[in-house]
Structure 1
Amino acid sequence: MDEQKKAKLKQELQEALEQRVSDFKHTFESGPGKRVYKYLSQFCFEKQSTFDASSQSTCNFNEGSRFVVLEIRKWLNYDLSKGAKV
Protein backbone atom coordinates (compact mmCIF):
# COMPACT_ATOMS: atom_id res chain seq x y z
CA MET A 1 0.00 0.00 0.00
CA ASP A 2 1.46 3.32 -1.00
CA GLU A 3 1.79 6.26 1.37
CA GLN A 4 -1.11 8.17 -0.15
CA LYS A 5 -3.49 5.24 0.39
CA LYS A 6 -2.20 4.79 3.94
CA ALA A 7 -2.77 8.46 4.70
CA LYS A 8 -6.28 8.31 3.25
CA LEU A 9 -7.13 5.20 5.27
CA LYS A 10 -5.73 6.78 8.43
CA GLN A 11 -7.85 9.89 7.84
CA GLU A 12 -10.98 7.77 7.26
CA LEU A 13 -10.36 5.82 10.47
CA GLN A 14 -9.84 9.04 12.44
CA GLU A 15 -13.07 10.48 11.05
CA ALA A 16 -14.95 7.28 11.94
CA LEU A 17 -13.59 7.46 15.50
CA GLU A 18 -14.64 11.09 15.84
CA GLN A 19 -18.09 10.26 14.44
CA ARG A 20 -18.56 7.40 16.90
CA VAL A 21 -17.66 9.62 19.86
CA SER A 22 -20.02 12.30 18.58
CA ASP A 23 -22.84 9.79 18.07
CA PHE A 24 -22.57 8.38 21.59
CA LYS A 25 -22.42 11.83 23.16
CA HIS A 26 -25.32 13.09 21.04
CA THR A 27 -27.40 10.02 21.94
CA PHE A 28 -26.74 9.76 25.66
CA GLU A 29 -26.10 13.36 26.76
CA SER A 30 -29.53 14.70 25.84
CA GLY A 31 -32.34 14.72 28.41
CA PRO A 32 -33.97 11.49 27.20
CA GLY A 33 -30.56 9.93 26.59
CA LYS A 34 -29.48 10.63 30.16
CA ARG A 35 -32.64 8.97 31.44
CA VAL A 36 -32.05 5.92 29.25
CA TYR A 37 -28.42 5.75 30.37
CA LYS A 38 -29.47 5.97 34.03
CA TYR A 39 -31.86 3.07 33.49
CA LEU A 40 -29.21 1.02 31.67
CA SER A 41 -26.69 1.78 34.40
CA GLN A 42 -28.99 0.26 37.00
CA PHE A 43 -30.32 -2.57 34.85
CA CYS A 44 -26.87 -3.58 33.57
CA PHE A 45 -24.98 -3.61 36.89
CA GLU A 46 -22.66 -0.69 36.10
CA LYS A 47 -21.96 0.06 39.77
CA GLN A 48 -22.89 -3.19 41.46
CA SER A 49 -21.69 -6.75 41.69
CA THR A 50 -22.62 -9.16 38.93
CA PHE A 51 -21.86 -12.18 41.13
CA ASP A 52 -24.56 -14.81 41.60
CA ALA A 53 -23.49 -17.59 43.97
CA SER A 54 -26.21 -19.91 42.73
CA SER A 55 -25.50 -19.75 39.00
CA GLN A 56 -22.37 -19.25 36.94
CA SER A 57 -24.47 -18.71 33.82
CA THR A 58 -26.40 -15.91 35.53
CA CYS A 59 -23.11 -14.36 36.58
CA ASN A 60 -21.85 -14.58 32.98
CA PHE A 61 -25.08 -13.04 31.67
CA ASN A 62 -24.82 -10.21 34.19
CA GLU A 63 -21.20 -9.56 33.16
CA GLY A 64 -22.30 -9.37 29.53
CA SER A 65 -24.95 -6.81 30.45
CA ARG A 66 -22.41 -4.82 32.42
CA PHE A 67 -20.00 -4.85 29.49
CA VAL A 68 -22.58 -3.06 27.35
CA VAL A 69 -23.08 -0.18 29.77
CA LEU A 70 -19.32 0.09 30.35
CA GLU A 71 -18.80 0.32 26.59
CA ILE A 72 -21.30 3.19 26.44
CA ARG A 73 -19.53 4.90 29.36
CA LYS A 74 -16.17 4.47 27.59
CA TRP A 75 -17.40 6.37 24.53
CA LEU A 76 -19.08 9.06 26.61
CA ASN A 77 -15.80 9.67 28.46
CA TYR A 78 -13.60 9.39 25.37
CA ASP A 79 -11.46 12.50 25.01
CA LEU A 80 -10.36 12.88 21.42
CA SER A 81 -7.61 15.28 22.45
CA LYS A 82 -6.07 12.62 24.70
CA GLY A 83 -7.36 9.46 23.06
CA ALA A 84 -5.51 7.15 20.78
CA LYS A 85 -5.15 8.62 17.36
CA VAL A 86 -5.20 6.23 14.44
Structure 2
Amino acid sequence: MEPENDFLENASMMIDYAKKEIKQFMDWTNRRTVYGATAESIASDLEELLNDVKRLKREYASRERAANKTPAFSPRQQQA
Protein backbone atom coordinates (compact mmCIF):
# COMPACT_ATOMS: atom_id res chain seq x y z
CA MET A 1 0.00 0.00 0.00
CA GLU A 2 1.26 3.48 -0.87
CA PRO A 3 1.95 5.98 1.94
CA GLU A 4 -0.85 8.19 0.63
CA ASN A 5 -3.32 5.33 0.95
CA ASP A 6 -2.08 4.64 4.48
CA PHE A 7 -2.58 8.30 5.39
CA LEU A 8 -6.11 8.38 4.04
CA GLU A 9 -7.02 5.11 5.75
CA ASN A 10 -5.57 6.32 9.07
CA ALA A 11 -7.36 9.66 8.76
CA SER A 12 -10.67 7.88 8.15
CA MET A 13 -10.18 5.64 11.17
CA MET A 14 -9.23 8.52 13.47
CA ILE A 15 -12.21 10.62 12.39
CA ASP A 16 -14.55 7.68 12.83
CA TYR A 17 -13.11 7.01 16.29
CA ALA A 18 -13.50 10.67 17.29
CA LYS A 19 -17.10 10.64 16.07
CA LYS A 20 -17.84 7.55 18.19
CA GLU A 21 -16.24 9.16 21.25
CA ILE A 22 -18.33 12.32 20.84
CA LYS A 23 -21.47 10.23 20.47
CA GLN A 24 -20.54 8.35 23.65
CA PHE A 25 -20.08 11.71 25.39
CA MET A 26 -23.55 12.75 24.22
CA ASP A 27 -25.03 9.50 25.56
CA TRP A 28 -23.53 10.13 28.99
CA THR A 29 -24.41 13.82 29.27
CA ASN A 30 -27.45 16.03 28.97
CA ARG A 31 -27.96 16.99 25.32
CA ARG A 32 -30.06 20.00 26.33
CA THR A 33 -27.06 21.86 27.72
CA VAL A 34 -24.72 24.18 25.87
CA TYR A 35 -22.05 21.50 25.75
CA GLY A 36 -24.61 19.00 24.46
CA ALA A 37 -25.38 21.27 21.53
CA THR A 38 -21.67 21.78 20.94
CA ALA A 39 -21.10 18.02 20.99
CA GLU A 40 -23.85 17.53 18.40
CA SER A 41 -22.27 20.20 16.21
CA ILE A 42 -18.88 18.50 16.51
CA ALA A 43 -20.40 15.11 15.63
CA SER A 44 -21.98 16.65 12.54
CA ASP A 45 -18.69 18.31 11.55
CA LEU A 46 -16.85 15.02 11.99
CA GLU A 47 -19.39 13.25 9.77
CA GLU A 48 -18.83 15.87 7.05
CA LEU A 49 -15.08 15.53 7.45
CA LEU A 50 -15.31 11.75 7.18
CA ASN A 51 -17.31 12.11 3.97
CA ASP A 52 -14.68 14.54 2.63
CA VAL A 53 -11.87 12.07 3.35
CA LYS A 54 -13.82 9.25 1.70
CA ARG A 55 -14.32 11.44 -1.36
CA LEU A 56 -10.60 12.24 -1.37
CA LYS A 57 -9.81 8.51 -1.20
CA ARG A 58 -12.04 7.86 -4.23
CA GLU A 59 -10.52 10.75 -6.18
CA TYR A 60 -6.99 9.62 -5.34
CA ALA A 61 -7.75 6.00 -6.27
CA SER A 62 -9.30 7.12 -9.54
CA ARG A 63 -6.28 9.26 -10.36
CA GLU A 64 -3.90 6.42 -9.47
CA ARG A 65 -5.80 3.99 -11.70
CA ALA A 66 -5.70 6.50 -14.56
CA ALA A 67 -1.97 7.11 -14.04
CA ASN A 68 -1.24 3.37 -14.10
CA LYS A 69 -3.18 2.87 -17.34
CA THR A 70 -1.60 5.76 -19.22
CA PRO A 71 2.13 5.60 -19.98
CA ALA A 72 4.07 8.71 -19.05
CA PHE A 73 5.48 8.85 -22.59
CA SER A 74 4.05 7.53 -25.79
CA PRO A 75 6.16 4.85 -27.55
CA ARG A 76 7.06 7.43 -30.19
CA GLN A 77 8.39 9.84 -27.53
CA GLN A 78 10.44 7.08 -25.90
CA GLN A 79 12.21 6.30 -29.20
CA ALA A 80 13.29 9.91 -29.69
TM above 0.5: no
| Structure (1 or 2) with the larger CA radius of gyration | 2
With normalisation by structure 1, the TM-score equals: 0.39
Higher helix share: 2
Which has the higher relative contact order, 1 or 2, with Cα contacts under 8 A spaced 6 or more apart? 1
With normalisation by structure 2, the TM-score equals: 0.41
